[in-house]
Structure 1
Amino acid sequence: MRERIPPRYVTRRWAARCLVVVVVAALFSPTVVAAVTPPDRPALERGTIERPANGTTVIAVQGFKVGNQTREKKPARLVGVGPNGSVEWVYENDDEWIPWYYDVDPLANGRLLITGVHPNETVVTVWDPETGETAWTERFDFHDTHDVDLINGDQLLVANMRNYDETTGNNNDRILVYDRSAGEVVWEWRFRTHGYNASGGGSYTGDWTHVNDVDRVGPGEYLVSNRNFDEVVVVNRSTGNVTMRLGEDGDHDVMHEQHNPQLLRGENGMPTMLVADSENDRVVEYARTNGTWTRTWTLGSIDSLDWPRDADRLPNGNTLVTDSLNHRVVEVTAEGEVVWEFYAPWGTYEAERMQLGDEPGGPTIREQNATGVYNVSGSAGLTPGTGDSQTFSQWVDSTTAGTPLAGPGSRFAARWSHITPWVRPVWLGSWAFAAAAAGVALLLGWGTVEVVIHRRALGRRMRNAVAGVRGTAD
């Protein structure tokens, strides 16, 4: 006999269902509104300009392309920005579609050395902003490359990542020197032959080291950023030895998956490392005395920076910071005050002052008597997270601060802020995306509850269906 359910219970159940429907509709409504009113192409905008920059700032915008997302929404491009925040030029290489841009280096002749990536191909271009002409292009069958520097006149210093050889079972992540005149690699240094454990870093068969930066810092001395091992090292070209090391795999208090370090020399030649500490949402500076590194400066937190990937000390003592997932570049004082700011979606990667050359350097924080911890202040706040308005992740972090949930809340906020921008449509805001995610979670939970409540009836239907199929087969 069919089980009878009390009418009052049925009424309550349907009331609960109606409530869930209303809540889900409310959670999805911001997404619906945003979807039917999509914005124009992401705008290039000046932010705070307290004083003009000393020359043109060139910004490499990584962009993002996956599936059916188009470059129009998350464009990869280079932008030349004047001292007062006016756009002087935009480079998108109309002759060749490049879905990702990374390193850009000003050359002494006024041209730019540009590193771009196709799927499974690295394209290195020298381009002249004044004439708009391409001087030359080199192509490498490298899956992914974030940094290429021009050294010794006509040689290219390359950080070669994601270089697993399926035939030999070896990961050949390396730094190398390619001679353009000879058309061949004339020197290389592989991580696996210099003491790096296959179980460390990232996946050995995939993105093992993610070596994202290499710079010549002296005769035969190369500064290397080994992101997935949380370390920066100096490699001697002649001996192959590591002569200096900051950080170690898994020590995230020092730095966590950093980008684009800069080696400075302080008073009496003191080695000083300025690093974009990306996963920790900050910029840090370390000074080395008697073989020990001491952190002398911390700039920013999740409340003011979102995955910074470049920090360069300028001759005036300020620091030029590329705040990647806030899609901007800021020049800040040693105390964190914004004096120059420009927004360039989508996913700024690196910035340089063209007239100063590639990473000119300047006084260390100790030389400026400004050691300490500072947040970034004075932003125009043109996107949530850079001014007074908070993103969802910042709200989670600030709300859980000082509570037993502070640790998990901070970790969740950091992961959310670093991952969701890559999957969130550009027309959908942080809070609207969070609401939609909550709506999906509520629907899944509701569906699970309905399955549990009706498990007996569902079981009977499944058994009857199976019996019917068997009967037909017989």
Structure 2
Amino acid sequence: MDQRTRVLVVAGAVVVLAAALGVQAVAIDRGTVVEQNAEVGEPYPGNTLVGVHSWQNDGRLVEITPDGEIAWEYAIDDSRFFGIDPLREGEAAPGIEPEEDGNVVLFALGEVAQPEECPEEYLSYEASFQGTLDPHEHCVYNRVILMDRSEKEIVWEYSWYDEMIHWHEVHDAVVTEDGEVAIIDMGKNRVFTVNEAGEITWEWYAADHIDQGTEFFEEHVEGSPHVDDPDDYAKASEVDDWIHWNDIVETEDGNFHLSVRNYDMLIEVDPETDEIVDTIGQPGNHSVMQHQHNPQHLEEHGTVVIADSGNNRAVEIDADTEEIVWEYTGPEGDPLQWPRDADRLPNGNTIITDSRNNRVLEISPAGEVVWRFEDPDGEVIPLPYVADRLPVGETAGGPPGYDLDETTAADHGVTEQVREAETLARWVLPTWMHLPQILNLLGIVLGAAWLLGEGALYGWRRYRTR
């Protein structure tokens, strides 16, 4: 085949592929998928409230019925929503006393702030800094909001600015037993409590307690056989994504459980003494957990249900022995991708937020899917962060994994790697583009690159023969 024929064939293929992709862009509408499987078990009753991180800063809260209908929604432009905490009737809270379970909710979000809105101190870094993709996303307005959902009324709020929406968004907050709000602040690497008047009543900085030079760092990082270079776990700069902690829970005795994602650990802090009184996990020991999110502490049973994001699974761990007593990696041939929430329900089911698959699953004690809400194109819950079954959320708890049917990890083989590549592409490509469309686009790019190469070669030959 001569060069002219090759060029015509490849050019024709590129045109066909481009036309096919254009048709798909207009025609594809996968909608949402709702599955209820009464043959293997009953879903726990109630609607599901989802906090949506989103792929493109279009976060929101969405309440979904068992039939997949949208019962309630709240959104803010240019934002990412994270942790949610539905309150119980009569529970102490700033500015309101809930009249029914689940109608008042505390939630955390990061909102993109334009440069003219940002304090000068948060505009000192160039847009080329690693992790900052757009100069107009250079500052984040962090908000912790308590809302009466019946009127969408904000009854209390605490907010502050920080450097950028990447790594500096507030991820979680919780109403404490005494009616204050405890907040875990990823940007400033601190945990603090705030009263109704907005006054900080307690503050705990990670740099003072777990960074290089502390006893904790020496014991748990430098002393870990799973850590090759302790400097990888040390704070490098003021804007470094150092610990990336992402969850806070108050214990029955008033301590705080904190999820330190980049250390692969959960730690318990006593606010009276500022001491770390307990730990679960070990830096670099990914057999226990890796880059975990949103642990649910079943204190009466001595276990913790964890979204083990880095291992693409939900696990339950014995808090004393760190033995895995329950594990789930997804339906056969359809693995979880970066799950970020897992809660045991009172009937023994477990609800899992499967973030990169844009779906929420509820599985039976035997590991069978009894309810599923899936959003393939990311129109309703793009990149969900957390899901709570209303009215009372994760505080309802449930039986421990010891009492459930044995559930072990499925071997998803190469499917897991393929799905991971497909879902990671959603950070840069439209969410309607799945594997077939990605391969279609790849064909266009490779064909166009080949044509450019042929053109360059032809030009070079013409130049050499002059």
* Fold agreement, TM-score > 0.5: yes
* 8 Å contact from structure 2 (residues 358, 382) kept in 1: yes
Q: Partner residue of 1:342?
A: 373
Q: Partner residue of 1:382?
A: none
Q: Partner residue of 2:160?
A: 140
Residues 228 and 455 (structure 1), Cα distance of their counterparts in 2 relative to 1, 3 Å cut: farther
Measure, in 1, the Cα distance between the counterparts of 2:258 and 2:73.
30
- Does 2:206 match 1:191? yes
Residues 13 and 124 (structure 1), Cα distance of their counterparts in 2 relative to 1, 3 Å cut: same
Q: State the secondary structure of the residue aligned to 2:210.
A: coil
Q: Compute the displacement of 1:13 (Å).
A: 2.7
Q: Compute the displacement of 1:332 (Å).
A: 0.6
Q: Partner residue of 1:178?
A: 194
Measure, in 2, the Cα distance between the counterparts of 1:307 and 1:240.
32
Residues 335 and 432 (structure 1), Cα distance of their counterparts in 2 relative to 1, 3 Å cut: same
Measure, in 1, the Cα distance between the counterparts of 2:193 and 2:277.
19
Larger Rg: 1
Q: Partner residue of 1:320?
A: 351
* 8 Å contact from structure 1 (residues 125, 136) kept in 2: yes
* 8 Å contact from structure 1 (residues 224, 234) kept in 2: yes
Q: Compute the displacement of 1:438 (Å).
A: 4.1
Bigger CA drift: 153-162 or 432-441?
432-441
**Which of 392, 399, 403 is equivalent to 1:363?**
399
**Which of 101, 113, 125 is equivalent to 2:145?**
125
**Aligned residue pairs, count:** 392
Q: Compute the displacement of 1:455 (Å).
A: 5.3
Write the deviation string for residues 363-410 of structure 1: whole angstroms up to 9, x where unpaired: 111122x3341559xxxxxxxxxxxxxxxxx8x923xxxxxxxxxxx6
**Which of 273, 283, 288 is equivalent to 1:254?**
288
Q: Partner residue of 1:242?
A: 276
* 8 Å contact from structure 1 (residues 225, 232) kept in 2: yes
The code of the aligned residue for 1:139 comes to S
Q: Compute the displacement of 1:336 (Å).
A: 1.6
Measure, in 2, the Cα distance between the counterparts of 1:300 and 1:193.
37
Measure, in 2, the Cα distance between the counterparts of 1:280 and 1:447.
41
- Does 2:35 match 1:47? yes
Q: State the secondary structure of the residue aligned to 1:310.
A: strand
Q: Compute the displacement of 1:208 (Å).
A: 1.5
Q: Partner residue of 2:6?
A: 16
Q: Which runs of 5+ in 2 are unaligned?
A: 89-97, 113-139, 163-167, 213-230, 375-379
- Does 2:437 match 1:439? no
Q: Partner residue of 1:383?
A: none
**Which of 64, 68, 71 is equivalent to 1:81?**
64
* 8 Å contact from structure 1 (residues 201, 229) kept in 2: no
Q: State the secondary structure of the residue aligned to 2:408.
A: strand
- Does 2:386 match 1:353? no
- Does 2:74 match 1:91? yes
- Does 2:435 match 1:430? yes
Q: State the secondary structure of the residue aligned to 1:431.
A: helix
Write the deviation string for residues 309-350 of structure 1: whole angstroms up to 9, x where unpaired: 100011111101111122221211122211122234211111
Measure, in 2, the Cα distance between the counterparts of 1:316 and 1:89.
25
Write the deviation string for residues 145-192 of structure 1: whole angstroms up to 9, x where unpaired: 1101111443221111123xxxxxxxxx122212233x3222222222
Measure, in 2, the Cα distance between the counterparts of 1:357 and 1:99.
23
The code of the aligned residue for 2:191 comes to I
The code of the aligned residue for 1:176 comes to F
Q: State the secondary structure of the residue aligned to 1:257.
A: coil
- Does 2:257 match 1:223? yes
Residues 460 and 252 (structure 1), Cα distance of their counterparts in 2 relative to 1, 3 Å cut: farther
Measure, in 1, the Cα distance between the counterparts of 2:419 and 2:68.
30
Q: Partner residue of 1:200?
A: 233
Write the deviation string for residues 19-75 of structure 1: whole angstroms up to 9, x where unpaired: 433443454444221234465xx9565332534532232111222336xxxx4xxxx
Q: State the secondary structure of the residue aligned to 1:239.
A: coil
* 8 Å contact from structure 2 (residues 11, 451) kept in 1: no
**Which of 408, 414, 435 is equivalent to 1:397?**
414
Q: Compute the displacement of 1:17 (Å).
A: 2.8
**Which of 107, 112, 121 is equivalent to 1:114?**
107
Q: How does 1:267-416 map to 2 (within 5 A)?
A: 269=301, 271-289=302-320, 292-301=321-330, 303-343=334-374, 344-368=380-404, 370-375=405-410, 397-398=414-415, 413=418, 415-416=420-421
Measure, in 2, the Cα distance between the counterparts of 1:226 and 1:84.
36
Residues 202 and 28 (structure 1), Cα distance of their counterparts in 2 relative to 1, 3 Å cut: farther
RMSD of Structure 2 on Structure 1 (CA): 3.1
Q: Compute the displacement of 1:112 (Å).
A: 1.1
Measure, in 2, the Cα distance between the counterparts of 1:106 and 1:27.
48
Residues 196 and 449 (structure 1), Cα distance of their counterparts in 2 relative to 1, 3 Å cut: farther
**Which of 72, 78, 81 is equivalent to 1:101?**
81
* 8 Å contact from structure 1 (residues 209, 228) kept in 2: yes
Bigger CA drift: 81-90 or 188-197?
81-90
Bigger CA drift: 97-106 or 200-209?
200-209
Measure, in 2, the Cα distance between the counterparts of 1:303 and 1:14.
45
Q: TM-score, normalised by structure 2?
A: 0.75
Q: Partner residue of 2:222?
A: none
The code of the aligned residue for 2:174 comes to D
